[in-house]
Each structure stands twice: as C-alpha cells, then as structure tokens.
Structure 1
C-alpha cells in the first residue's frame, strides 16, 4: 500500500474533515495507493503509536475494518478481514505438503501467520524471525487475538534478519513462509524477494518435498505488474513448480497475490484439500477451502497473459517496488 496520513483536528490540506456549518464529520485514514489514487476510511480513534529504529507503528480503530495495524504508513492488516490474507498465505502450502512438521516464518511479527500455522495438528516447531523487536512487542501487547500463538511452546521467536538467520542455520524446514513487508524503495525487505535469495538461501533450507510461499503484493488487473508478475517469474527461475494465486482483501482496496513454489508437484485437487482440512486442521477456516483455492489459483485472462510474458527477474540491481516510500506523516497524527 502507500503513504499514510490521518486527518485530525482542523482541515486537511486537500480534504475537509468538516461538514456543513463547520461541524466535524470524522477523523480519516488516508493511503496513497498510486500517484493519482488514494484510499481513505473513517476512524474511531488512534489507539497507539510507536517508532522503532526500522519502522513507524500505528494501531488504528477504524469504522469499517476494526483495529488496523499500519507500519511505515502502509496498512498491514485489519481486524475484520485479516483472515483472508493469513489463511491464503499459510494454508495452501501446509495443506499441499504431505506432512508438515517444521515451519520457518520470515517476518510475521504480527503473530497471525504463526496463529494459523499452529492450527495444523502435525506442526512440531515454528521459527518466526522478524527483524524488528519493537514491532513484535507492540503486536504481542495489543493484538489479543494472537496471544495464544505467541505463548505456544512450539514457537521460537528470533529477532534478526531472516536472510542471515536462514544462512546461519544447519537445519531445514518443511515449509518456509515469506510474510514480509512489501518491497518498497529504501525498505528493509526488498532483498528477500530476489533470485539470489530464493536460489542461494531459501531453496537449500527446504527439506525434500518442501514448499516455499510468499506474499507477492497487489495482483489486480491494473496493479499486478508492480511486483506480482516479477516475483512469480523470479521464482520460476529457481523452482520446478510455481503456483500464483490471489484473493480480494477489502481493506487493501485491491486483489492481493501470493506465490507458492516447490521442486515437488502440487497434486492435491479441491476434494483432497477439503479432506486434509477436515483431518489435519483444528477449527474451521473462514475463507479458504478446496474450491476457494482452485478459484484463487485461476487468474484472470489479463493477469495470466502478463505472467506468461513476464521476463524481468527480481535482483538487487533490477528491483521493482510498490508505490510509495512508507513515511508516516507524524504531524498529521497529532490531535
């Protein structure tokens, strides 16, 4: 997503926060998705703000989407619909794997990815590696829905750079999940979307039959060429089998994309995925089942054509970025 401002007391420089007669209407969250396109919605309040050495952190209470976590001016997840993102990120890879026991989460400081991972009965250990301790502590304190995940004895939380952590380890994993921030210019994560990282670090750390999955940015008819098609093509250069898929996330104001990759074929059809959900998972998914995944991995014609024609490979020297530079306009947060 893009830059953030919150309309507080007074009149915003472009949008008035007051109705007729000078009466205040509401406080608003605003994010610049593209240069000429902004997305905004009303707030009940600004619950918490913080700043680490890496990122600005804001927790908002929004009127349409409930509590929303914003990092570096970019909406990460919202209470009402985060299940769409996290179920889509976690469960396809874990369900396609025959018996996932060990998982490495890159990023994931919010705790929701670990929460969904622990719903799989076979999981024995999860390593969650996030570079920003203050973000992790902030989420652990304020996102009550993930409290049990943070307290699960199978979780090993490591504060470090995910690349360095993976490279330094001697063990391998059944599934590696990239729950990373969007690649933004000047941000800390874009090198974790490169061919050299996938080829030299991720692939060697997967057990035989292992699966890698990553969030891959906007995947709409107009937005998929930002980074989604490039990330997909990059993974195709490294893994034998690569599956792109997408879903509409209302609070993101767009279709969102993920890419799943492995050197073993993905053979489970919709019926088999439903069977595995019933046998292998605790609780009921709100969003994902076999038919939903089949639909999610059937991309629109315009996106399929773009992915088939994509030639760019994501490298440190040819990186593509999501629009915006992720700076919170702090002055606008004062009320």
Structure 2
C-alpha cells in the first residue's frame, strides 16, 4: 500500500495477484516460435500474440483487474474511461459482464472498427476533441461530476499490473530471454511487462517501439523528463501527446531503449505478419516487429520475443499495407 497522496508502484507480486483475476481467452494467450522470422533474423524469434480474443487486444487484462479490484473495495455504479479504442473495448467488456453502465470518451474521428466494437458492447461513446489526451481531460471531468469510477490507462497501477501479466506469461514460457520488443503508446503495457520480465529474467533487454509520428514518450525517454508532442500516427494504439506520470516513471526506470519507426515501415510489418504468419494485426500490433527489424543485425543468435498487441486493423489500412512490400 502506498503512503497517502502517493501512487502505488506496480510490483511482481501485484502482477501475480492480477493474473489470478484473469481467465482464457484473455490470459494464457498464444506464444510460439516463428520459424520464418527466426531464419530471416538468424535468431530465435518468438511471437506473443494478444490479438486472438473477443476484442483482439491485450487491453482487457488491465481493465478487468482494475474494475475487479475497485469492486472488491467499494460499490461502483458507473465506469468511465478515455481511449483510442482498445482500452475502451476492454473497459466496455468488463463493465458489460458486471452489468455496470459505461461511458467511453474517444477522439472525434476514432478507428471505426474499434468504435463499432465498443458500441456493440453497450457502452455510451462520447466522440470529442482532436486527440486522446483532449478526450481524457473531458472524461475525467465527466467522471468527477458523476462520482463514477475512472479507469486510467497510464496512471492506474491496477491497469498496469493487469497489462503486466503479458510479461509474466512471457517470462514463465521461456527459460532464457535476451530481448523483448513491446509497442508503446502511453507506456502502460511496456512498464507492466518490464516489471515482470526484469524481476524474473534480470538480464533481459526490453525495448519499446513508438511511431515517429507520435513520439512523445520516445522524446521523454531521451530527455528523461515529460515532453508533450502532437500525435499524428495512423497507429492509433501508439498515440500519446501528454505522457502519463506513472507510466513515464516506470518506463524511465525499467526500459532499456525506445525505437521510433515510420508509419510506412509499421504498415510493412503488418504486411509481413500477414504473409509470413497469416496473422492480421493493426499497426500498433505490428510495431514490435518493425522495431526488431530496424536493429536486426544486433539480434543474431539471441532469443527475442515480439509482443503482438492487437489486431483491430481497418479495411482502409489493410489495403494500404497490402500495397507495400513485406519487410523480408
């Protein structure tokens, strides 16, 4: 328990406890060695696939844990969050399963695939503002005015520990890991995973990957302090204009490197996963492969895990990806 006024820091024990609150298909997700990518990289390449579930994303892990822990502590009549889509799906599903009214604040022009899924789960969607951080500010005002539970993707250690169960599964799956590449928007998944990975595999190197069209967290990592920067990436799952305090603190403490990749190369990674693994991913979901590919000469002979974080690819982006060459 953190002292009054201080945010609790996510821990390995907290992640292990969070894991007990999850069940398939949102836990025990597929992880397998890629023969084709291993041959190309001259390395032992593993894919941790978080897109094979009803919302095609890892985000249900954090939402489920945060809401379950909140309900164990007090009654909740209404749940609110902000999201570009995947976190909103996770919160909407967890709310629906518990019969609790849910409001999701999204940017004015959200990913249509994710929007449709959130609406199908019965959540009330508020489309507002030019980016996620504007929507988040309005969502916080709304939640405070109504006394609702706000599920914060970035500042909530329960959400981070839920996301960290991805890292826990990776750490338990392999006896030795050299490198893990993780997509990064707000940094919640990266920080949670690194908490588990560094505790169980002290020598592992954790690298996060962000779009060069949404580089706020990468710039903050380089400058070792929060840097705001406009987000204009096609990879909405990597969007972040205003770094979250808790997520940035843990990224600075645990992450070894941050790589930025152009949106076009990320789309090429989407094409590669379709061609090589018959795996449909959204741009954020393919970012780990794009990042690993950019430093592939350094990975020869190493055991590497790529986290495939989501699969909510729009038809328009699928068409763009198919028009590009594969990375391999």
The alignment's TM-score, normalised by the length of structure 2, stands at 0.36
The structure number with the bigger radius of gyration is: 1
The alignment's TM-score, normalised by the length of structure 1, stands at 0.35
Identify, as 1 or 2, the structure richer in helix: 2
Identify, as 1 or 2, the structure richer in strand: 1
